[in-house]
Chain A
Amino acid sequence: MSRRHPTLLLGAALIALAVALALLSLLWTPHAPMRIAMARRWLAPDLVHFLGTDHFGRDVASMIMAGLRNSLAIAASGVAIGGALGTVAGLAAATWRGPVDEGAMRLVDFIFAFPAVLAAVVVTALIGPGPFAVTLAIAIANAAMFARLVRAAAGQLWNRPFVRAAYALGGTRLRVAIVHVLPSLLGLLCVQAASQFAVALLVEAGLSYLGLGLQPPAPSLGRMLNDSQTHMARAPWLAVFPGLTLVLVVLGAGLLGDGLRDRLDPRGIAPRMPSS
């Protein structure tokens, strides 16, 4: 009995749940996520505050919902922008070869020489911390990743008979690339996007933990985890719930990526591991 369906379904379900919670948070949360209430600090989970309150009396459940929304938005934007740019670059490199190819790949090598977190820290130092900097850092890393991947895959596709035929029949390179090569890449792109989305969530959380992501009072899962460290002895739930949320969402994205790969790309052109 194949294992394809459970993985894909479970992944999709987790992501759907996360997105639903995130969208819901725009309309309603159990309490106002940024409402400070000094009289109700460090409350353990109870019926009023399902997941407790933090050192300023803010409701943890509400903060998690709002933080989830922010994390999903940043990760999705980063991957989408980077993915789009990288796909264009990779496709162009495979289609026109020559100097375009050389230039693009040298740039990709340059970007890959820096570990992602370090590059992100430098970016935030340059333009100031915040969601824009984090999205930019994620986009740059994804652009390089997608560029390299798409170039390899498109390169292979350009050697296929049906593409060569289309070109021979009189199409321009550009037309053939867009009409014939690109559609065949879609499956691969979906798989990669899902995997990279998982990685992007982790990177955003890590940068927020270091204080380089969303600034107060905007809720952020990573920053919540950082704040929780000082109060660990008194309020351990502050460290547990945001982390658990993060794990479940990233797990969902990872399972989604795996499930999609099994269905769309069984031959394994996309690398099997998310490489951060």
Chain B
Amino acid sequence: MAGLIARKLIALFATLLAVAIGSFVLLDLIPGDPAINMLGTEARPDTIAAARRLLGLDLPPFERLGVWLAGIPTGDLGVSYRYRVPVGELIVQALAVTAPLGLYAAAITTAIGGPLALLAVLHHRRWPDVLISSTAQLGLATPNFWVAILLVLVFSVRLGWVEAGGFPGWAAGIGPCLRALTLPAIALALPQAAILLRLLRAALLETAREDYVRTARAKGLTPARVLLRHVLRNAMVPAATMLGLQFAVLLAGSIIVENVFVLPGLGRLVFQAIQQNDLIVVRNVVLAIAAMVLVINVVTDVACAALDPRTRAR
């Protein structure tokens, strides 16, 4: 077990290092110059040189890479070329929007996907199951930005219940912020709910076929109780695995949804940073996201291995 963890951690660090170096090299190739960007059309050799000195771009690439990597353990990720504030600050501010959005979306996903999956399984092969499964198929096929556009069309333009976008900041209170996050969370959650629904339903059905469930039924328990007491618990593991892996999907979806709703979150931060040549922000966000994904993978792998009695017996 300890050996497994050690091996996973080494692989994790190796991959992260590769991601860091890879993103640094790739991003430097993007056309445009952050120094000239600050100066605009009247940029001249002397102001460009001064700007490059200010941004630290006058150092050779190898040194810049070294400075960056050396600063990461202490939390010094560098200073944004565009905003002139520490990148760490920007990422934290952005996470203050994206993380709650993700949790909100996950809550909606579970609230919709969970009960519907249970319902479908309870009525397996009858019309509720068919209807729910078809709806899930439809949900999978729907682009989240289209859902976002339609939600804005109905709830903002036509009904005027919520603003079309924007985020007032947590200082304005929880209410206004939750209102601002509701439509985006729904847009993110609907396709995810469809995925969760199908996965949970499949896992539940598979577990339901197991012998110990048939025993429970034979003992006289109602289908519902069998479901809740035995089946659900065992199906939680694959479902939890999937929820963890969907984190990366959430971050990907948030780029588009945050753009539609103009939310100052991580997705919008990195998208605008790419467009504005704020490469230092981009590579830090890329590294952060890769780290989160890889860590979640490792944790899930280790947890599964730990929980699986077959591995524990070894």
Contact = CB atoms under 8 A, between A and B. Distances in A.
Interface residues of B, number: 50
B15 A110 contact: yes
Given A115-B251, A232-B157, A198 B141 contact: yes
A254 B249 contact: no
Interface in B92-148: 130, 137-138, 140-143, 145-146
A265 B27 CA distance: 41
Interface in A261-276: 272-276
Nearest to B287: A113
B198 A116 contact: no
Nearest to A3: B130
Contact of A115 (B11, B152, B199, B289): B289
Nearest to B18: A110
B126 to A, nearest CB: 12
A225 B252 contact: no
Nearest to B27: A122
A57 B261 CA distance: 27
A109 B11 CA distance: 10
A162 to B, nearest CB: 27
Nearest to B256: A206
A274 B27 CA distance: 29
B313 interface: no
A117 to B, nearest CB: 4
A273 B15 contact: no
B290 interface: yes
Given A118-B286, A229-B149, A232-B153, A110 B256 contact: no
Nearest to A11: B137
Scoring A116, A118, A121, A243 by chain B CB atoms within 10 A of each residue's CB, the highest score goes to A118
Contact of B137 (A206, A225, A246, A254): A254
Scoring B149, B195, B270, B294 by chain A CB atoms within 10 A of each residue's CB, the highest score goes to B149
Interface residues of A, number: 44
23 contacts: A3-B130, A110-B15, A113-B290, A113-B294, A114-B289, A115-B249, A115-B252, A115-B293, A117-B253, A121-B274, A122-B27, A126-B26, A126-B30, A202-B143, A210-B259, A229-B149, A232-B149, A233-B157, A236-B153, A246-B143, A250-B142, A251-B140, A272-B202
Given A115-B289, A121-B274, A228-B149, 19 more contacts: A106-B14, A106-B15, A110-B18, A113-B294, A115-B251, A115-B252, A122-B30, A122-B274, A125-B274, A202-B141, A210-B256, A243-B149, A247-B141, A248-B141, A272-B199, A272-B202, A273-B195, A274-B140, A276-B249
Interface of A: 3, 106, 109-110, 112-118, 121-122, 125-126, 198, 202, 205-206, 209-210, 225, 228-229, 232-233, 236, 239-240, 243, 246-248, 250-251, 253-255, 258, 272-276
